[in-house]
Amino acid sequence: MEVLKHFPEDFSEALQTSFFILSFFNIRYLQDELSFIQKNWRFSYLVLIVIIHVVTLGLHLPDLVTGDEMSQFAYLIPSILVTVHGIFKCFVLLPKTKEVSTFLRELGSLWRVQFTETQKQEKDKLLWRLHLVNRVSYWISIFGTSQYMLSPLVETLIRKFILRQESKLILPFDSVYPFNPTKNWFIYIITYIFQFYSLFLLVTVYSGASLIMVTSCGLLTTEFMMLKDDLTRVKPRMKRGRNKVSKTDDDEPTIEQFVARHQKLLRLSRLLDNAFNGMVFIDLLFVGITVCAFGFMGQFTRSTAYKLLSYLGVVSSLLNVLYLCYYGEQLTSASSAIGDMAYENLWYKGEKKYKMTIWLIIKIGQNPCRLTSLRYADVSLKMFTSVVSSTWSYFSLMNSVYSEEEV
């Protein structure tokens, strides 16, 4: 992408997927040179489309809740939750655009272009894993949204032209409009395109926001891992005269270079948490109920295709949180590992100032960098197990309630 061309190639490649997805909803980073109108004019129609979609869908909710068709209710609940979730992410992410741009610009300026053999192997492994996460999330979003939105159209065409049945034209959402959306094929197709595009916009925010957060955390983790390797090559400084300069190998980093880079990464970790801790909270708030809604949809579905879609929704929702918790754990581990590596350094052979510097690095490593939920709860794999446990409890309760009603 044009805005990423000034950064190192591997850094740019890691961000391309999330930048591409978010661009559909006009969420753009690293474009501070553009005027307010140039950056935001597309919101004039994008926001209008989303508002119309939410209002028309909301007007149908009373009929949906009080209706007798449980399958229709179960089918629409996941999309309603994704709509609400996407809107909340917009409210949290858009005000943080400048902070995220600052974080990415500074991290890109720090990104290495020269590596030792060990660092190159570690970097390639970490970035390959990050690319895999991006690709899996992207294709699950594309496939899941397409199947969800196109299934009613495929069902309509099969009933009308293959089975020759007298069936009504089916839309993805039974929204309330000031006209009959199934009056004829022309109005039906226009309405269908509008509903498809509306949900597509919300899904781009839903998945793109998660990807930019996970990718940013993964890239920062990679830099911390490279920095840890730097510390293994830092040689202790022996006592010397006041005006004498100790000789070091040009390929070996000095303790001053290490500390300067470490301080910059620590500041970036705080900036990362400031930019995304609100969105972490939103994701954790919605994941349990969203997974239950997709599971509920699978119970009352009317076909195998919809059942497959419900399972895909469950997997996608849990994977988003798993990626987030995994890279949150990786960031904490990578930053704390620097303190462990500092202790393994031959610090006892160095001068007093060198020993004090190593001591400070160890102390900082004992309070590692963290990605948090509203600065309250640390994002880690332990959090993911808690989320899965809570979700399973909600799902079991829901099954018990509806099983008793059926009896």
Q: Which of 81-90, 157-166, 191-200, 235-244 has the lowest mean pLDDT?
A: 235-244
**Cβ proximity of 214 and 31 under 8 Å:** no
Is residue 245 assigned to a domain?
A: no
> What's the confidence (pLDDT) of residue 100?
94
**pLDDT tens-digit map of 221-276:** 999 999 999 888 888 866 654 444 454 555 678 889 999 999 999 999 999 999 99
Is residue 222 assigned to a domain?
A: yes
Is residue 55 assigned to a domain?
A: yes
Mean pLDDT along residues 191-204: 93
Tokens of residue 324, six digits: 């987030």
Q: Give yes or no for residue 19 having a pLDDT over 90.
A: yes
Q: Give yes or no for residue 142 having a pLDDT over 60.
A: yes
Question: What is the Cα–Cα distance from 226 to 208, expressed in whole angstroms?
Answer: 27
Q: H helices of 161-303, where?
A: 185-232, 255-299
> What's the confidence (pLDDT) of residue 407?
47
More confident site: 395 or 387: 387
> What's the confidence (pLDDT) of residue 242?
47
Is residue 181 assigned to a domain?
A: yes
Question: What is the Cα–Cα distance from 301 to 307, expressed in whole angstroms?
Answer: 6
> What's the confidence (pLDDT) of residue 401?
67
> What's the confidence (pLDDT) of residue 297?
77
**pLDDT tens-digit map of 34-78:** 888 888 899 999 999 999 999 998 888 877 766 656 667 777 888
Those residues with Cβ within 8 angstroms of residue 84's Cβ, 6 or more apart along the chain or in another chain: 286
> What's the confidence (pLDDT) of residue 335?
93
> What's the confidence (pLDDT) of residue 116?
86
> What's the confidence (pLDDT) of residue 194?
95
Q: What total number of domains does the chain contain? A: 1
Q: Give yes or no for residue 406 having a pLDDT over 70.
A: no
> What's the confidence (pLDDT) of residue 279?
92
Is residue 400 assigned to a domain?
A: yes
> What's the confidence (pLDDT) of residue 22?
93
Under the banding of pLDDT at 50, 70 and 90, the label for residue 6 is: confident
> Percentage helix, strand, coil, to 5, in the chain?
75, 0, 25
**pLDDT tens-digit map of 321-332:** 999 999 999 999
Mean pLDDT along residues 78-90: 88
**pLDDT tens-digit map of 146-166:** 888 888 898 889 888 888 888
Tokens of residue 22, six digits: 């978010």
Structural domain span for residue 307: 2-235+251-406
> What's the confidence (pLDDT) of residue 310?
81
- Chain centroid to Cα 129, Å, comes to 15
Under the banding of pLDDT at 50, 70 and 90, the label for residue 293 is: confident
Q: Which of 73-82, 188-197, 330-339 has the lowest mean pLDDT?
A: 73-82
Those residues with Cβ within 8 angstroms of residue 407's Cβ, 6 or more apart along the chain or in another chain: none
- Chain centroid to Cα 209, Å, comes to 5
Is residue 330 assigned to a domain?
A: yes
Is residue 184 assigned to a domain?
A: yes
Q: Which of 201-205, 242-246, 287-291, 353-357 has the lowest mean pLDDT?
A: 242-246
Is residue 102 assigned to a domain?
A: yes
Question: What is the Cα–Cα distance from 358 to 137, expressed in whole angstroms?
Answer: 41
Q: Give yes or no for residue 87 having a pLDDT over 70.
A: yes
Those residues with Cβ within 8 angstroms of residue 173's Cβ, 6 or more apart along the chain or in another chain: 56, 57, 60, 76, 79, 195
> What's the confidence (pLDDT) of residue 67?
60
| Mean pLDDT estimate for the chain | 86
